Structure 1
Amino acid sequence: MASTTAYHTPPVATEEPGAPAPEQMLDAVVIGAGFGGIAAAIKLREAGFRDVVVLEKGPDVGGCWRENTYPGCACDVPSHLYSYSFAPNPDWTRQYAPQAEIEQYVRDTVDAYGVRRDIRFGVEASGAAWDDTVQGWRLETSDGPLLARAVISAAGPLHQPLIPDIPGLADFPGTVFHSAEWNHDHDLTGERVAVIGSGASAIQFVPEIAPKVGRLELFQRTAPWLLPRIDFEIPRWARWAHRRVPGLRRAHRLAIFSIAETLGFAQRHPRFIAPLRAAATKHLHSQVKDPELRARLTPDYEPGCKRILFANTWYPALQRDNVDVISSGVAEVRGNTVVASDGTEREVDTIILATGFHVTDPPVATAVRGPDGRTMAETWGGSPQAYLGTTVAGFPNLFLLVGPNSALGHSSIIFVIEQQVHYAVEAMKHMRFHALGRIEVDRAVQERYLARVDERLKDAVWATGGCGSYYLDATGRTSTIWPWSLPRMQRMLHRFDAEHYRVERKVPAPVSS
């Protein structure tokens, strides 16, 4: 364990006669009002922090569940696990909740816990810079500057759509949109549509739009591994039981969690991946009888190397007479023609980008500047790094939710969010109790931690499975995924380990003359 290293305490600021009143120092600014930001707002208020502001650029809460409204959008984690442990919902209508129901759940939780008053809607944070003289973050927002002791970034990894740099795409004369920015005003009926990408979004919306379009051309660089989606409507008696039977919701949630953990174990220990491969292969062979198409839909990497998807309607949709699978990425767009890397050409009216998000290069990294004036992106140099996925050396009083090496490929990200929010709130409580103005994880501690992370992940399927994915950053490092079990995460983030941080006592506020 590292010993605590104290910073030099700067001199106490004084106020000149006639000077303006000191700026208000907020306890925290939370960026984003999705699942992460709402959890942070609730837990900060429960811990007694009253001066908290949540900045949300959109018109309402919900985050990615407010923004992603493409046809068929739904969760790929069972509903009773994809919810806050402190706000269980007995009334989920399906095993896998649809987008609108999840968005409504977030709204209901916000209202139940009374934190809507802390949220400033339509306000976007454009930058944050640490100010040593006041031991706080100066934020620039679309509604003016703010000053906060701490910042909790809850923008999320599935936040900014990734628009591929395809030559000629900008000059396409038809309609182009990303799946995360679905154009509901555009009628696809009878159109020739190109879908670029075959990931989590595409497998949900392609089966929905395939029956109505004239032609659908799917440009697929790599085929996904699919497992059956055991979805069903939750009957009324089951909802009644979840509401009235003591312990049922907790037991149900634990059962789902435990099953998901077996998938995570196999991904961390690829020698146990064979049953997943067998199940996914059986699913493919049972639904696709044409050997030529089946070959195009068979991945050439290990299951789990990319995100494992769950679907029953994907393979049937790809076998429709008006659908064609092109096993190639897109090289360019020439007028109305989409040209694949293998030379295949298709003339289309609309292009839908199912190309994912900026995961390993999150926008927040370019907007935050530490005491040395460098942005987080400059500090990372293409490979995101954080201690416990939550704090970053060189960036005091800053907490990331779903930061580097804390994302999952097998379970509910809300579990991760709750652990990180707990850790951040415990850190802020420690600062309040000990009158600290600044805490920052020791760089040597972070480096030793990351060495353990890299050692654990070097043999995991994400690094050895033979694929490229958003789990890997620009340097080839696995900087996205949590390397151990989720119970271990809960243990590691349960207590704020102050001994691993450098601290500085709070500068007294100026005294009016």
Structure 2
Amino acid sequence: MEIPNVGRVPRPPRRLRGPRVVVIGAGFAGIGVAAELLRDGFAVTVLERADDVGGVWRDNTYPGAACDVPSSLYSYSFAPNPSWPRRYARQPDILDYLRRVAEDTGVLDRVRLGADVVAAEFDETAHRWRVELAGGGVVEADVLVSAVGQLSRPVVPDLPGAESFRGPAFHSARWEHDHDLTGRRVAVIGTGASAVQFVPHLQRAAARLTVFQRSATHVVPKPDRAYRPWHHRVFRTWPSVLRAARLGVWLLGEGLTAALTSAQALGGPVAGASRLHLRRQVRDPRLRARLVPGHRVGCHRLLFSNDWYPALARPNVDLVTEPITGLTPTGVRTADGVEHPADVIVYGTGFAATDFLAPMEVRGRGGRKLADEWAAGARAHLGMTVPGFPNLFLLYGPNTNLGGNSVVYMIERQCRYVVRVLRYMAAMRVSTVEVRREAAERFDAETQARLARSAWSRCSSWYRDATGRITTNWPGLVWEYRRRTRWVDHRDFDHGGRP
């Protein structure tokens, strides 16, 4: 496959004096912050546990894997790509894009592959972070940036009898391509964002496909299309066209975000589009009734698909809504006592989005564990900094996820914020920057109050962690987050001198 030709990205300048940085993770966030830091002249090392860069787009190789944000916005502003094959890029094209950006910006030369971080501890005497790797290695740095994201740990439900099942069973994020599913009886557990993409492909291959649904969700059409050669010529000749497309998608995303976050009836048009899409694509009234969501728009992730409903309506597909009680050696048993035979089980059950940084053990001042700091729920000032943990920055951290726009745009805002803080550290010759507890608590109180007034407050536990807090989502528009991270208010931070 041809690697996309991303825009020309300037090589990093000669290194300036300043803090040395370790970044954990080489996905969109890790590559993005490393590129920004290198461009500003900081020394950067990126630790990646896998054998390649790419993050979730390296791991999720299931059939049909693609993005549900248009390519023009699901990319870095500093690396526009006029050669996207489709309006909504597929997994191989996004992975190739990330590899090319990492190479063009010089980030790839700074990546240590196979470096699995198990712990990190702040040395108060040396004012440095000691990062421990699996196998016993240690890396030291002045500043630690976590870019592990919210979608790196797949969740597999603990079902009774799971160990007795005789066939292959795997999560969609760990797809086992060695198993040919052609002509097999396949059970799919889960009907989320991944399942709506791979189920239509499995339907065409499997002899029998049984899909187990816990709750239906809203699905709307996906206005995808393949770009033709003339599109690429226009994007290359007039880059402003691509920028205009990016702006248009961003504005539409802001409108969708407003619909999802508002406590009012702004989600009505989205719900209407979802109902019309369902009615047009599913003629069987009994099947259609089981696919009607029982929650308001925004309480689950809004899904985009043109072939999910038609796949479920095919004669070789069964949609099961009875709760699963366990697995047997030859299938899946539900609460009505029926055993549904299966040769293979595929879990489309999502990720541990609220377990930020787990399973790493992170210790700050006085040896305090980040897990203890977050015992009442994860929280961070602007989603990035935590009191008691100097020189630690989180990308795609607590309360920075979105429901209707591009998280890559949010990540870029965070990357530039980190660079601004490090510029200050280098210019003022300070060794530590730590958010003040009162500033962090003030921000968290505001965030939770706004979430309590939003539509998400009346949703189920889908957005909440074990403490009941909504720890994933940003409560406002992306424009507001951009405004609030455009400048660093150093009154919110304590600054320490050289040790």
TM-score by length of 1: 0.91
1:458 maps to which residue? Answer: 452
User: How big is the shift at 1:72?
Assistant: 0.3
- 1:505 corresponds to which letter in structure 2? G
- SS of the counterpart of 2:365? coil
Deviation at 1:334, TM superposition (A): 2.2
Contact 1:361 1:382 in 2 (8 A): no
What secondary structure sits across from 1:351 in the alignment?
Answer: strand
CA RMSD of aligned residues (A): 1.4
Give the aligned partner of residue 274 of structure 1: 268
Q: Which residue of 1 aligns with 2:179?
A: 186
Q: Which amino acid aligns with 1:408?
A: L
Residue correspondence of structure 1 range 324-343 to structure 2 within 5 A:
324-343=318-337
For 1:166 and 1:487, the matched residues in 2 are separated by: 42
CA distance in 2, matches of 1:126, 1:459: 38
1:356 to 327, 350, 357: 350
Paired position in structure 2 for 1:174: 167
- The change in CA–CA distance for 1:364 and 1:426 in structure 2 (over 3 A counts) is farther
Check the 8 A contact 2:330/2:341 in 1, yes or no: yes
Shift of residue 43, structure 1, vs aligned partner: 0.7
CA contact (8 A) 1:149 1:397 kept: yes
Equivalent position of 1:152 in the other structure: 145
- Larger Rg computed on CA atoms: 1
Separation in structure 2 between the aligned mates of residue 82 and residue 55 of structure 1, nearest angstrom: 23
Deviations 1:78-107 (A, max 9, x none): 011100001000111101101000000011
Match of 1:36 among 5, 25, 29: 29
Matched, 1:318 2:312: yes
Cα deviation, 1:367-422, whole Å, max 9, x if unaligned, reads 21112323212211151101001111121111101000001111111101101111
- Give the unaligned 5+ runs of structure 2: 1-17
CA-CA distance at 1:467 after TM superposition: 2.8
Q: 1:223 aligns with which of 200, 216, 219?
A: 216
Cα distance in 2 between the residues matched to 1:47 and 1:435:
16
Q: Does 1:472 align with 2:450?
A: no
* Equivalenced residues, count: 480
Native 8 Å contact 1:366 1:377 kept in 2:
no
Distance in structure 1 (CA, Å) of the matches to 2:295 and 2:365: 43
More displaced 10-residue stretch of structure 1: 344-353 or 31-40: 344-353
Give the aligned partner of residue 197 of structure 2: 204
How do 1:384-463 and structure 2 match up within 5 A? 384-463=378-457
Choose the corresponding residue for 2:125, options 117, 122, 133. Answer: 133
Contact 2:331 2:340 in 1 (8 A): yes
How many Å apart are 1:157 and its aligned residue? 0.7
1 CA distance for matches of 2:359 and 2:492? Answer: 23
- Identity over aligned pairs, percent: 44
SS at 2:340 equivalent: strand
Distance 1:382 1:69 in 2: 35
CA contact (8 A) 1:365 1:376 kept: no
Name the SS of the counterpart of 2:309 in structure 1: helix
Question: Could you tell me which of 64, 70, 93 is aligned with 1:101?
Answer: 93
Q: Is structure 2 residue 478 aligned with structure 1 residue 486?
A: yes
In 2: Cα distance, 1:181 partner to 1:463 partner:
32
Contact 2:221–2:277, Cα closer than 8 Å, also in 1 = yes
Q: Tell me what 1:5 maps to.
A: none
Distance across 2 between alignment mates of 1:173 and 1:273: 44
SS of the residue aligned with 1:458?
helix
Determine whether 1:65 maps to 2:57: yes
Aligned partner of 1:17 in structure 2 is none
What are the within-5 Å matches in structure 2 for residues 243-254 of structure 1?
243-254=236-247
Residue in 1 that maps onto 2:284: 290
1:256 is the counterpart of 2:249: yes
**In the alignment, what sits opposite 1:383?**
377
Q: Which amino acid aligns with 1:285?
A: R
Distance 1:475 1:142, change over 3 A: closer
Instruction: Describe the shift of the 1:95–1:172 C-alpha distance in structure 2 as closer, same or farther (beyond 3 A).
Output: same
CA distance in 2, matches of 1:178, 1:329: 19
Name the amino acid aligned to 2:273. A
Query: What is the CA distance between 1:172 and its match in structure 2?
Result: 1.4
Q: Which has the higher contact order (CA 8 A, sep 6+)?
A: 1
Cα 1:475/1:328, change in 2 over 3 Å: farther
Deviation at 1:342, TM superposition (A): 4.4
Residues 440 and 502 of structure 1 are in contact (CA less than 8 Å); yes or no, is this contact kept in structure 2? yes
Whether the aligned pair in 1 keeps the contact of 2:146 and 2:357 (CA below 8 Å) is no
Q: For residues 342 and 304 of structure 1, do their structure 2 counterparts lie closer, same or farther at Cα, with a shift above 3 Å needed?
A: farther
Unaligned runs of 5+ in 1: 1-24, 508-513
d(CA) in 1 for partners of 2:19 and 2:490? 22
1:282-326 residue CA offsets vs partner (Å, 9 max, x unmatched): 000111111111111011000111100000100010011111111
* Partner SS for 1:372: helix
**Would you say the 8 A contact 2:189–2:346 is kept in 1?**
yes
